[in-house]
Amino acid sequence: MKTIALDLGGTRIKIGVIEGTAILASSMIEAFSTNGLRARLASIEEAVFELLRSYRIPLNDIAGIGISVPGIVDPRQKTVLSVNQKYFDSVGFDFRGWAHEKFGLPIYLENDARAALVGEWKYGAGQGCDNLVMVTLGTGVGGAAIIEGKLLHGKHHQAGCLGGHFTINFVGQLCNCGNIGCVETEASSWSLPQQAMSDAGFPASLLSKNGTIDYERLFAAARRNDALADKLVHNSLLAWGSCVVNLIHAYDPETVIIGGGIMRSADIILPFIRKYVDSLAWTPWGKVSIVSARDMDTAALFGIAELLRESLK
Ligand SMILES: [Zn+2]
């Protein structure tokens, strides 16, 4: 069964034609997600048709479209219930009607971290394990959980996916979700520039030189013994460590999979979190395995294709 998978990320929209464990064709377009979804639909449609054309895949061969989005999703109604800045106008958007009108195809809709977790569960770092938690470190901090082989949704579709909004600092900054001292406010790509610039050590730091303040630059500056970068790296590692301990206490996983763009620095992040969790998490049964996502670039595509196939059975 061939399916189309769309992963609506904050920065890029990935498009894939998936059959079993193979990506037959794929492409990517810029997301401009702060401008909303509706402004991007025509480009998405064009990119899908272009991909099918260039790989000579007839639309008739496609069984459906899986769509993963950043936000709280109701997969039964196939609607987005709430978002945090990205694709603000996707809330209430009729994805089913859109896919039917433009492609004549059924859809499946799911939160992006849940889709990525399913992808890693079926084809990646979580294979063979039925108690899993996923954390994605990027613009925001995403999450998802599988308990005893069941992807967690909850009454209001938000169970397991708000790990980035666990309170880890009750005297912290206001988060854009409305809470105070969330994991995201303490350590994510969106909050990092503000944290750096508001520090008294900023003018003397390498981070004050021209350019975007992101984690790639932060880790590079820390390697050059920049005092502020060093402090912010340490603070971020503690924030993510606390987040993982909270997730372990909440969901009782055997394995925690960490993905997202910031994990390009996995050589620093993974050993720290492993040590942090080993010494602080309450797991009398043994040791939680903390691993990198096998392929964060494609996990959500495979996951959403898998969920779509299940729904079409
Ligand atoms: Zn928050």
Residues 189 and 139 in one domain: yes
**Residue-number span of the structural domain to which 31 is assigned:** 2-117+297-312
46 alpha carbon to ligand 1 midpoint, in Å? 35
**269 occurs within a structural domain:** yes
6 and 86 co-located in one domain: yes
- What pLDDT score does 227 carry? 98
**Structural domain contains residue 197:** yes
Residues 93, 170, single domain; the answer is no
Q: How far is the CA of 145 from the centre of ligand 1 (A)?
A: 18
Ligand 1 centroid – CA 173 distance (Å): 10
| 110 and 135, same domain (yes or no) | no
Pair 100, 155 in one domain? no
Shortest CA distance to 109 belongs to which of 68, 63, 152, 161? 68
137/285 same-domain check: yes
**Shared-domain flag, residues 152 and 73:** no
Separation of CA 165 and ligand 1 centre (Å): 4
Do 101 and 113 have their domain in common? yes
Q: Cα of 144 to ligand 1 centre, how many Å?
A: 16
Query: Do 95 and 86 meet the contact criterion of CB atoms below 8 Å apart?
Result: no
Match 């670039």 to its residue by tokens.
297
Alpha carbon of 114 to ligand 1 centroid (Å): 18
Ligand 1 centroid, distance to 100 Cα (angstroms): 35
Report how far ligand 1's centroid is from the alpha carbon of 161 (Å): 12
| Residue 219 falls inside a structural domain | yes
- pLDDT of 114: 97
Token pair for 294: 């096998």
- Cβ atoms within 10 Å of 211's Cβ, excluding its own: 9
Distance 192 CA to ligand 1 centre (A): 14
The rounded Å distance from CA 184 to ligand 1 centre is 6
- In CATH, what number is assigned to the domain containing residue 252? 3.30.420.40
> Is 225 in the same domain as 275?
yes
What single string gives the DSSP state of each residue in the chain?
-EEEEEEE-SSEEEEEEEETTEEEEEEEEE--GGG-SGGGHHHHHHHHHHHHHHTT--GGGEEEEEEEESSEEETTTTEEEE-SSTTGGGBT--HHHHHHHHH---EEEEEHHHHHHHHHHHHSTTTT-SSEEEEEESSSEEEEEEETTEE---TTS-TTS-GGG-BS-TTSPBPTTS-BSBHHHHSSTTTHHHHHHTSTTSTTSGGGSSS---HHHHHHHHHTT-HHHHHHHHHHHHHHHHHHHHHHHHH--SEEEEESGGGGGHHHHHHHHHHHHHHHS--TT---EEEE-S-HHHHHHHHHHHHHHHHH-
Overall domain count for the chain: 2
Q: Is residue 32 part of a domain?
A: yes
Query: Residue 234 domain-assigned?
Result: yes
**Cα-to-centroid distance, 228 and ligand 1 (Å):** 24
Say how many Å lie between the CA of residue 72 and the centre of ligand 1.
13
Indicate if 156 and 210 belong to the same structural domain.
Answer: yes
- Residue identified by tokens 């003018």 is 203
| Residue 152 counted as domain residue | yes
Mean pLDDT by 10 residues, the chain (313 residues): 95 95 96 94 98 97 97 95 91 97 98 96 96 94 97 96 96 94 96 96 96 95 97 98 98 97 95 98 97 93 97 94
* pLDDT confidence of residue 296: 83
Cα 93 from Cα 123, distance rounded (Å): 30
185 alpha carbon – ligand 1 mean position (Å): 7
In a domain, 122, yes or no: no
